[in-house]
Each structure stands twice: as C-alpha cells, then as structure tokens.
Amino acid sequence: MSRKETAQRAFSTVADELTSLSEWMFENPEIANQEFESSRKLSGFLGGHGFAVTYPAYGLETAFAATVGARDPRVIICCEYDALPEVGHGCGHNIIATAALGAGVLSPASSTNSASASPFSAHQPKRPPVATSTSSTLERSTTVRLQ
C-alpha cells in the first residue's frame, strides 16, 4: 500500500467525526475568548483519541493543550477556532481547527506504536502565538511567529 493510500485509510477513520465537528462549529459560532463549547468539543475529540488534555490552559478559559508521546522531536500544531462578530466563521476557523485536529490525531506520534512526542496547542491569545520546534537530531531550533 502506498503512503497516500495509508493516509487516506487513516483519514477515513476520523473524517465523519471531523466533518460533523466543523459543521457544528459553523452553525454555532463563538467569538474570541467566548468559545467555551467549541474548545470543549475540540479538546474532547483529542481526549477521545488518546491525547492527554489540559483544559483550560495558558491562563485562558477557552484554551487547551493536548499531548501524546514522550520523545523528541516535538511537533506543535496550533489552531484557531474563534468566529467573527456578526459574521461567524467567514474566515474558516471551523475548518482550520478541525484540519489541525486531524493532523494531530493522524500524526505518527498519536499511533499506539510510537513513542514520539506530538504536543497540540490551541488558544486564542491577545498577542501573536509563537510556535517553536527543536530537533536534537539536526541540532537546530526553528521559531515561527504567526501574525
């Protein structure tokens, strides 16, 4: 089986759940720092797929962190799930959030056969978040500032 076929098969196991979650978020938009149901549903999805979830996290009531695995390199996946006032999910954060969840759940680290680390972070900060990934194998550090 090709890598593409393997990925498609893995995605098919969560596709309906992610689609349903994305559609629910679209129909039930919550603006920044008020996305209590969205954050509960998103973190619950990850918890249901074997992630250790911290909720709330980062000093924000609607933020969560979910981790799986215990080894480097670490991969951090951030998502946004807030809606725009009077517009809803016109920017597609419902899709961005569920795509990020899919990436986290389908990462090699989330496999029960892997000891890799895959922290998952989701929050709506008042300033741009910084995601940092360090690879000891390559002995380098990369920082990405999201604006």
Average pLDDT, the chain: 79
Per-residue model confidence as pLDDT tens digits over 126-147: 433 343 333 333 333 333 333 3
Distance CA 107, CA 76 (A): 11
- Rounded CA-CA distance 27/5 in Å is 32
Look at residue 7 in the predicted model and tell me its pLDDT.
Answer: 85
**Structure confidence by residue, pLDDT tens digits, 16-28:** 999 999 999 999 9
User: Distance between terminal CA atoms of the chain?
Assistant: 39
pTM of full prediction above 0.95? no
Q: Please report the domains of the chain, with CATH numbers, ordered by start residue.
A: 3-145 (3.40.630.10)
Angle at which helices 15-27 and 93-105 cross, to 10°: 150
Q: What is the DSSP letter of 84?
A: B
Let me know if 132 is exposed, middle or buried by CB neighbors in 10 A (0-12, 13-18, 19+): exposed
